[in-house]
Amino acid sequence: MNTQKTILFAILILSLSFLQAQITITYDDQPPIPLSTVENYTSISGLDISANGANQTWDLSDLISEGSSTLDIVNLNSLPFANQFPNGNYAVSLNDYYYTIISKNTNNLSIIGSVFPVDQFNTILYVKNSSPELVYTFPFTMGSIVESYPRSSTKIFIDTTINSIYIDSAAIDIKSYVKKEVVGWGTLALSNGNFQVLKVAVSRKDTTTINAKLMATVWTPIMGDTSQSNSVEFVMKNLLYPLASVELDPLLQPTNVYWVDVDPSLNINDNVCSNIKYFPNPVIDNIIFESNEPINKIVILSLDGKKVLEKDLDYEKNISLNLSNLSSGTYLFTLYNDKSIIRTGKIIKE
């Protein structure tokens, strides 16, 4: 009897430890916004990320970037097209070119649209999802399954003639099915540190139909396509964006990898509410930071992820940095208050 009690007690302790170690993303998890960083990418074969289940380790620390894009997460109301998406909260942009519009409420995080320029027609396209794409529902943890059926229908004015046929407009209709399932949790090793993550298996099917309005009177289907894809996302607390994404081929083998350059401390960020100004920007020599929160470290990176400056500070609220030694270009900065990231941003050096 005592042996049974001992075994049951040991199982209980192990179960409690397991539950405590699990990673759960909740409504309260988000980065300091605006967040500015870099997303790297590379093509690869032979990468083993097959392990599922509890307390796994996935090692991507040897990845070498073939290129990168600037990644920004900003408050939607800071952008001129915010009124196009009244239910949106944030916008994620790549290279200040393409914007994904994010809605966040106590139930879920979802994609409700996108914005991008169409240069050949000299216009900006506002894609509005009549049904959103769920990123995750709260709480999001091991075993969570999220399915959504995003749909959008977007018209674009073309005003051109092809083979003596006048085309007034085009309508792009996209119907999708997206399934996300959390199949593992544990540690993702990247070159800049280890991160506690959830492993998410993603499958999607997209059906696209394009109709053209001919001679300003008749809508005619001119193109249709259906595609299916699979990928794996590694997601962490306090980011609102995949820390790493791995595209899979039809045999479910890794082909392309994308990963975001963030500090591992973002995992445990306390989301200090900060009001920080920095000027002048662009800067020639000295830049000044003014904060309502004490700052004890600043790190500046080049767009290829290389650290060009790191300075420890004595919990100062007003900082002046001489950047005259930096080459002209765009840089990313991160400000810290102890282990909390309180602000990120871009600096343009002239």
Mean pLDDT score of the chain: 87
> Which are the contacts of 7, defined by CB distance < 8 A and separation ≥ 6?
none
Q: pLDDT at position 202, please?
A: 99
- Residue 254: asked if its preceding bond is cis (omega within 30°), the reply is no
Token couple for 202: 């993603």
Count CB atoms within 10 A of the CB of residue 334: 23
Q: What is the mean pLDDT of residues 186-213?
A: 95
The H-or-E segment that residue 121 falls in is none
274-279 LR contacts (CB < 8 Å, sep 24+): 274/32, 274/335, 274/337, 274/342, 274/343, 276/335, 276/342, 276/343, 278/333, 278/345, 278/347
Could you report the per-residue pLDDT of 312-335, keeping only the tens digit for each?
999 998 999 999 999 998 888 888
Is the model's pLDDT at 198 over the cut of 70? yes
Q: What is the pLDDT of residues 16-59, one digit of tens each?
A: 334 445 799 999 888 888 889 999 999 998 899 999 999 999 99
Top CATH class, 23-268:
mainly beta
Domain limits, the chain: 23-268, 276-349
In this prediction, residue 115 carries a pLDDT of: 96
User: What six digits make up the tokens of 91?
Assistant: 């916008």
User: pTM of the prediction?
Assistant: 0.81
Q: By percentage, how much of the chain surpasses pLDDT 90?
A: 60
Give residue 239's region: left, alpha or beta (phi > 0; psi -120 to 50). Answer: alpha
State both tokens at 206.
């997209």
Let me know: does 152 contact 113? Beta carbons within 8 Å: yes
CATH number of 276-349: 2.60.40.1220
Question: Rounded to whole angstroms, what are the CA distances from 80 to 132, 155, 271?
Answer: 22, 20, 26
Which residues touch 35 (CB under 8 Å, ≥6 apart)?
71, 72, 73, 74, 344
Which of 188, 189, 206 has the alpha carbon at shortest distance from 197? Answer: 188
Q: What would the pLDDT profile of 270-303 be if each residue is shown by its tens digit?
A: 544 457 889 998 999 999 999 888 899 999 988 7
